[in-house]
Structure 1
Amino acid sequence: MSAREDLKRVIQAHAPAVERGQREPMPSKWTFGRVEDETARNAAVLILFGHLDDVPAVSHDSTVPGDLDVLLLERSANLRKHPGQIAFPGGGVDDTDRDVTHTALREAVEETGLDPAGVEVLGQLQIAELPVTNFLVTPVIGWWTKPSPVQAVDVNESRTVFRAPVADLLNPEFRRSVRVKRDGHTHFSPGFVVGERVVWGFTAIVLDRLFNEAGWTIPWEPAPEIVPPFSSKH
């Protein structure tokens, strides 16, 4: 089965929960309070997969093709929330958005400059709770049928945009357990080393779940513990 078909299978498995509006909370090891329904804002992120053009994967023994990649961005270190973190393109739902798919694509265009005409939307996963910013986030899964150039459109929001080889994210050598202390409590999330960057927190949790459900995960525990940069702000 191809990677695209694996993703469609995961989306199909989520469909009943999506129709019910069922949420998926953060893991117990990564829970910073609860979402306040009265003030929570809806948001969407685009998890865009495609085939690498000029950035080969380091890893060769993987459960996915070596040229499979996912689009990520590095947030500006000057942002008040999630500074310097690696994230999916995405943001809050606007009143003018037709639906969460429109939100995810609009935000991706605004942040990375991609051409949405080259993106096939495969579907969405159930809503993920993000208590730190009081967002209810819908992950929208896309497939890049015609890749277009990407870059950080607004350097005040994003430092850089890049395509990460999925085979490298899955490589046990590049997996980490990320430890964050807040208000006297210690929290853990999965982590992925991407060159000199570390994917952790919400983005890593969503990727970890997706990789597990797609059947791509290579056993990696126990992984070395690390403390990420900018861990004092989430």
Structure 2
Amino acid sequence: MTGEDSVTAVPDVREQLRGLAGRGVRWPVGRWPEAVLRPAAVLVLFGVLDHLPAEHASRAVPGDLDVLLVGRSPALAHHPGQVAFPGGRVDDDDPSPEAAAVREAVEETGLDPTGVEVLGSLATVPVPVSRHLVTPVLAWWHEPSAVGVVDRGESAHVFRTPVADLVDPAQRRTVVVEVAGGRRRTPAFLAGDHVVWGFTAMVLDTVLDALGWAEPWDRTREIPVPR
């Protein structure tokens, strides 16, 4: 499978994602008392590109594979302005984290949930800064629908970005965050006019590496925290 391929290998991509959900990943984060964190879920939704072609030719990723992302509103209390997966808190009436991730994605982007196939979930990830325990939900967009900003108070942008371009070593960076007691480093991706960093970049970095899609990149190329 090469970067020039269309997603004629859709079953292969889908099964790779399903297999990853089955075997799981090890997150590069420390432990946190789960009792003090609120459950949340995000939808990591892969599909076939819309009108935006990939520029990077990857040996492992089809050229027309993409992932759905949102730019959070700068007015939000937590992670303002950051690029994220659609998602949010798991409500009491949500039957599962998977259902919550799809519900939140519908509310944030307007996607048609009937076109989404949930493939499985990964282990929860603690995000202490917002006091959430997040379940990443892997899904396949078998019938893509129109998406866009639904609520400006929640999101400033909704966009799909080529996965092949995300693995391009030229588009990889490291963000250095000054925290109490030292500096914290997080992977980052340049995605057009957007910088993906923090929790979302950590999930993408770990997932792409676990799938064998990642390419070696220079982790010494540091950029400041995006504003």
The equivalences for 1:1-234 within 5 A come to 2-14=12-24, 26-27=28-29, 35-230=32-227
Q: Which residue type is aligned with residue 163 of structure 2? A: V
Q: Secondary structure at the match of 1:94?
A: coil
In the TM superposition, what is the alpha-carbon distance from 1:80 to its structure 2 partner? 1.4
Q: Which residue type is aligned with residue 92 of structure 1? A: R
In the TM superposition, what is the alpha-carbon distance from 1:39 to its structure 2 partner? 2.7
In the TM superposition, what is the alpha-carbon distance from 1:78 to its structure 2 partner? 1.4
CA RMSD, aligned part only? 1.6
Q: Which residue type is aligned with residue 80 of structure 2? A: P
In the TM superposition, what is the alpha-carbon distance from 1:63 to its structure 2 partner? 1.6
In the TM superposition, what is the alpha-carbon distance from 1:25 to its structure 2 partner? 5.3
Q: Secondary structure at the match of 1:38?
A: helix
Provide TM-score, normalisation by structure 1. Answer: 0.88
Which deviates more from structure 2 when the two are superposed, residues 38-47 or residues 112-121?
38-47
Unaligned ranges ≥5, structure 1: 18-23, 29-33
Q: Which residue type is aligned with residue 107 of structure 2? A: E
CA contact (8 A) 2:34 2:133 kept: no
Q: Which residue type is aligned with residue 226 of structure 2? A: P
In the TM superposition, what is the alpha-carbon distance from 1:184 to its structure 2 partner? 4.7
CA contact (8 A) 1:26 1:130 kept: no
In the TM superposition, what is the alpha-carbon distance from 1:61 to its structure 2 partner? 3.4
Cα gap change, 1:62/1:178 in structure 2, threshold over 3 Å: closer, same or farther? farther
Q: Deviations over 1:17-36 (max 9, x none)?
A: 9xxxxxx65436xxxxx634
CA contact (8 A) 2:54 2:63 kept: yes
Cα gap change, 1:223/1:58 in structure 2, threshold over 3 Å: closer, same or farther? farther
Q: Between the two proteins, what is the percent identity of the paired residues?
A: 51
State how many pairs are aligned.
Answer: 217
CA contact (8 A) 2:47 2:66 kept: yes
Paired with 1:62 and 1:173, the residues of 2 have a C-alpha distance of 15
Paired with 2:90 and 2:100, the residues of 1 have a C-alpha distance of 6
2:4 is matched with none
Q: Secondary structure at the match of 2:68?
A: strand
CA contact (8 A) 2:174 2:222 kept: yes
Q: Which residue type is aligned with residue 73 of structure 1? A: V
In the TM superposition, what is the alpha-carbon distance from 1:75 to its structure 2 partner? 0.4
